[in-house]
Structure 1
Amino acid sequence: MPHRQTPAWHLFVPKLITVLREGYSLGHLRADVIAGLTVAIVALPLAMALAIASGATPDKGLITSVIAGFLISALGGSRFQIGGPTGAFVVVVFNVIARHGYDGLVLATLMAGLLLTAAGLLRLGTFVKYIPEPVVTGFTTGIAIIIFSSQIKDLFGLHMAQVPAEFIAKWEAFWAARDTFSIASAGIAFAALALIVVLRRTAPKMPAFLIAVVAASLAAWAFALPVDTIGSRFGGIPHSLPMPQMPAIGMARLVELLPSALTIAFLAGVESLLSAVVADGMTGRRHRSNCELVAQGIANIGSALFGGLPATGAIARTATNIRTGARSPIAGMLHAGFVLAFMMFLAPLANFIPLASLAAVLVIVAWNMSEIDKLRHLLHAPLEERLILLVTLGLTVLVDLTLAIEIGVVMAAMAFMHRMSQSVAVTLGVSAIEEEIDDFAEPLPPHDQRLALPDGVEVFQLRGPLFFGAASRLGEVLDRAGPIPPVFILRMREVPLIDATGVGALESFVSRCTARGTRIIVSGIQDQPLTILTHMGLAARLIFADNFESAKALAVPDGPLPLGAA
């Protein structure tokens, strides 16, 4: 029986509707309240810190968490996505405000929201998934370096009239202002930094960011330390949301801000879908990418109308949401409500928060964004992918984020075409671009290869190059396979090559299997994929067979299987 095509409108049904259709109980609500409150506690200092780092006032970050956070959860295609301001936007927002003013940022955010909505309706969400991993890692690491650099002034309490936007000029200015170093600011910053690190290691469930900020505020107040605070620099934060307001729109202004709007839309799309993929990997669920893009677009429009910042899915806050037991998008909606409650009832307390403590928070954010383990892993990838990574990172830090992504993607496409030209007798057998499926889709019928399989054994055949454009197929394998089997045969004879993103997808697949006690047999692997898997350390976690028949003979669920045996 052929696979039934999913109706087009199913791809845009918010996950909130899916959850309510499945049934939502009081127990689910209780879990969502706890998760929403926990995420709000994490989001409070982050939202203010990210807004300040972006060149805006701290209340703009809180407004974004409330408006955009609510809309992303209510309308999005992920059950667990938490939206708000993120580190990915710091560089872009800072530059837009510096060049076009805050009004320019509001209009650019509004335009980006319209672009994201259009991209979702045109079903372009699938293509965003195919950005190569070296490009993603390169620009996120580059952004992390820039965020860290932007915090040096507040970390050490330097007195500077203006901080240059360019990376080299910024560090030259820091060195020139070294005589204005403040012991009080540095002491607050590094004490907060140490407290965050200690709490994360000894009590990971505690809200380390909030505890560090509160402790720093109490210390600064109790000892009357001469440090800049939110109150002294920004005059505090308002205790309510502003009324929505349309920005001034003119054709010349739209043309001037279009490049910035395209950059914001691109980053929001990539970051939100990466966050949704992380949530899928943690929960085993499936998100709707195009529905998510539409929600991101509406959320950015809403944030712009209320005078907020660009928003997207926040990976760390989404992971926190999942770990604290969230059951549905209602947790994200409640998170927005709790942040609003803080603005309404506790806003005056924010006046005492030292900016040095928020700088410490952003240092941790920058460290997490740098993904050192992934960076180190990719440095063992083939030469051309290492070059893509380093070029993207360098251009992000020294030139321009948009240019870095464009050149990185072009280099990845050229590297792939070069690898393809060296492959012999390459036959795809399936389309490199897969159609989306959703909760309403039915599983595919079994193929002939499933005949005569031993009990407790599942099989999946990969065809064509496992590169950045096709690696996402592996994420669907376990979802379509039904109950997780004791043994999984992965047929790879028709995979002529694999790249770093393909290895990353395969490693994620292997980790999900082994975490559930499933052993993986790879049959018929070719030389290039075997060399790359060995070089990047994944081959040792797999069992290899010369062909499918040999793999079936090895596939005894309870029998000993030597890892890494070719």
Structure 2
Amino acid sequence: MLKNLPPLAPFRPRLLNDLKGYNSEKLAKDMGAGATVGIVALPLAMAFAIASGLKPEAGLWTAIIAGFIISALGGTSVQIGGPAGAFIVIVYGIVERYGVANLLISTASAGVLLFLLGLFRLGTLVRYVPVSVVIGFTNGIAVLIGLSQVRDLLGLDIAKMPADFFSQISTIAQHIASFNLYAFGLGAVCVAGLFVWPRLWAVDSQFRRQLDKIETVSALRATSRLPAPVVALISLSLLAWALSLPVETIGSRFGGIPQGAPAFALPDFSWETVKMLVTPTLTIALLGAIESLLCARVADQLGDAPKHDPNQELMAQGIANTVVPFFGGMPATGTIARTVTNIRSGAVSPVAGMVHALTLAAVVLLAAPLAAHIPLAVLAGVLMFVAWNMGEWREFGRLKQFSNHYRIMMVSTFLVTIVFDLTVAVELGLVLAVVFFVRRQSGIFRADAISRNSQQITFRLYGSLFFGAVAKIDPIVAEVEASPTPVNVMLDATQLISLDTTGLDALEQLHKAVHKRGGHLGMVGLNEQPKSLMERSGFAAQLHTFK
């Protein structure tokens, strides 16, 4: 029996292939790209952790440890792993409901599940999630991320934000009187700067053209290589510190970031706890699989590297998420923004991702005390920008171009993600996708009468006769039962593509009706699949052969 099972996916990281023919030129490219992405990851990792209800070091060490493991063991050449914006809402809800300790257990359990998905070659199943569902929950998560940052962006005096949508709106409205103009100013300048900075240094920008006319601006031109989030983080933190602005910082809320590696600690595992955490575990695993493989597909389209191995990528994601909780980390997955930065910076192999993790570790170990001066309003501005870029807002304007089925799936997934949670939204989206698919397929099947006389009626079957289409056989049964004389029925099955057991049962009921009236049922032109099912069930032997 075991011999009939499909083989397990081989564990072979892409790094092993990419190291063949690796040379100093490729190393230089990977070093440069990795260092750039490591700097970009610094503000994002802290912002994602804080927005998730965790300490900033949880995001930093997740980016370091998980980022290194995912690059070293993954199935892509240039993907960067780490904490992602898509997890913010999920993690915050789990922390609020179950606590940080149970978040670690859920993350580790999700890691085991992700590894098994890859091991049993189920990575391709993620591609079966309809794009309308993916866009719906992605836009919903973006809205929730933006809403979660209103407190810090406005500098509101709120001790703790609730997890659900309507409670957050109510809490913000109740504390709007504590609005801090200085915090809002820093956050607004941060958002504006993130939009302006890359456009300022674009090759075709007017600023760049005027700058190229000046000869002694090499130092200024070099700053164009700095990522916008890093420029905003450093400049606005210095401004707030120099002017002693009355805004909340990482130091005032969290006491800073420890200057040292996190300690290894075992979460308090128990079978009862794992059973209680089934829903958050499935949510983390589902979102992690979707995000990582979507990111890998984006990397395939942008880069020249070989196509990703989805099963190996899931196994690497699983190992990373299993290990990270033992160091107090949060869920990790593939990150599109950092992956795109990695590709555009010239990365050619997973070595770049490993360098990104080492660069980030060096910055954390050497400059951790400086992070205490970072205003939370600036990190909120960074996340507002991330949320805006994360959402595919143009898809709402394009809805009129698509079918009602597409619109219903996308809008319902979007709304349910906001009002309830991601798991319910994806479940609803998949159920709607199945219902609409069945409806479309049942509409394709038809049974047309092509000849009729007093002794025989011939019908031609088109499409797939399955559980969603069997009602279309009922009119034939009704016609046979209404006939005052025996009638033979011939079914032309040359256009019948497939048949399921419910469809077979409908044909058997038709056979009984015909036989009861003293007639015969025959079929011609059977294709391979319907013929095989009918022979295995014994129904084929009951059919009459007309001369």
Alignment map for 1:488-507 (pairs within 5 Å): none
Q: Are 2:14 and 1:15 equivalent residues in the alignment?
A: yes
Match of 2:192 in 1: 194
Alignment map for 1:284-363 (pairs within 5 Å): 284=304, 285-363=306-384
- Greater Cα offset, 195-204 or 395-404: 195-204
Q: Quote the offset at 1:11 in angstroms.
A: 4.8
Residues 364-395 of structure 1: per-residue CA shift (max 9 Å, x gap): 11001111234433452111110100000000
Q: Which amino acid aligns with 1:393?
A: F
CA contact (8 A) 1:92 1:264 kept: yes
Match of 1:405 in 2: 426
Q: Which one has the largest radius of gyration?
A: 2
Match of 1:268 among 276, 288, 306: 288
Q: Which amino acid aligns with 2:439?
A: H
CA contact (8 A) 1:11 1:288 kept: no
Q: CA–CA distance in 1 between the matches of 2:415 and 2:201?
A: 36
Q: CA–CA distance in 2 between the matches of 1:378 and 1:256?
A: 39
- Greater Cα offset, 247-256 or 402-411: 247-256
Q: CA–CA distance in 2 between the matches of 1:408 and 1:190?
A: 35
Match of 1:93 among 91, 94, 97: 91
Q: CA–CA distance in 1 between the matches of 2:190 and 2:311?
A: 40
Q: CA–CA distance in 2 between the matches of 1:354 and 1:255?
A: 40
Alignment map for 1:115-194 (pairs within 5 Å): 115-194=113-192
Q: Which amino acid aligns with 1:243?
A: A
Q: Are 2:280 and 1:255 equivalent residues in the alignment?
A: no
Q: CA–CA distance in 1 between the matches of 2:47 and 2:256?
A: 14
Q: CA–CA distance in 1 between the matches of 2:326 and 2:39?
A: 25
**RMSD over equivalenced CA pairs, Å:** 1.7
Q: Which amino acid aligns with 1:111?
A: S
- Greater Cα offset, 203-212 or 144-153: 203-212
Q: CA–CA distance in 1 between the matches of 2:192 and 2:92?
A: 28
Q: Quote the offset at 1:258 in angstroms.
A: 1.7
Is the partner of 1:79 in helix, strand or coil? coil
Q: Which amino acid aligns with 1:252?
A: E
CA contact (8 A) 1:199 1:206 kept: no
- Greater Cα offset, 373-382 or 412-421: 373-382
- Greater Cα offset, 11-20 or 271-280: 11-20
Match of 1:380 among 384, 391, 401: 401
Match of 2:298 among 272, 278, 287: 278
Q: Quote the offset at 1:134 in angstroms.
A: 0.5
Q: Are 2:370 and 1:368 equivalent residues in the alignment?
A: no
Q: Quote the offset at 1:170 in angstroms.
A: 0.8
Q: Which amino acid aligns with 1:96?
A: I
**Identical aligned residues as a percent:** 47
Q: Quote the offset at 1:215 in angstroms.
A: 1.0
- Large movers: runs of 4+ above 4 Å: 7-11, 424-427
Pair 1:122–1:9, CA change in 2 (3 A) = closer
Q: Which amino acid aligns with 1:233?
A: R
Match of 1:396 among 417, 424, 433: 417
Pair 1:342–1:168, CA change in 2 (3 A) = same
Q: Quote the offset at 1:8 in angstroms.
A: 5.6
Q: CA–CA distance in 1 between the matches of 2:82 and 2:272?
A: 29
Pair 1:348–1:337, CA change in 2 (3 A) = same
CA contact (8 A) 2:63 2:83 kept: yes
CA contact (8 A) 2:293 2:310 kept: yes
CA contact (8 A) 1:147 1:362 kept: yes
- Greater Cα offset, 194-203 or 179-188: 194-203
Q: Quote the offset at 1:238 in angstroms.
A: 1.3
Q: CA–CA distance in 2 between the matches of 1:9 and 1:164?
A: 43
- Greater Cα offset, 199-208 or 251-260: 199-208
CA contact (8 A) 2:9 2:120 kept: no
Q: CA–CA distance in 2 between the matches of 1:300 and 1:8?
A: 24
CA contact (8 A) 1:134 1:378 kept: no
Is the partner of 2:402 in helix, strand or coil? coil
CA contact (8 A) 1:12 1:288 kept: no
CA contact (8 A) 1:157 1:185 kept: yes
CA contact (8 A) 1:137 1:375 kept: no
Residues 460-481 of structure 1: per-residue CA shift (max 9 Å, x gap): xxxx9xxxxxxxxxxxxxxxxx
Match of 1:472 in 2: none
| Structure 1: runs of 5 or more not aligned | 1-6, 428-463, 465-566
Q: CA–CA distance in 2 between the matches of 1:151 and 1:354?
A: 13
Is the partner of 2:99 in helix, strand or coil? helix
Match of 2:56 among 38, 48, 58: 58
* TM-score scaled by length of structure 2: 0.75
Is the partner of 2:19 in helix, strand or coil? helix
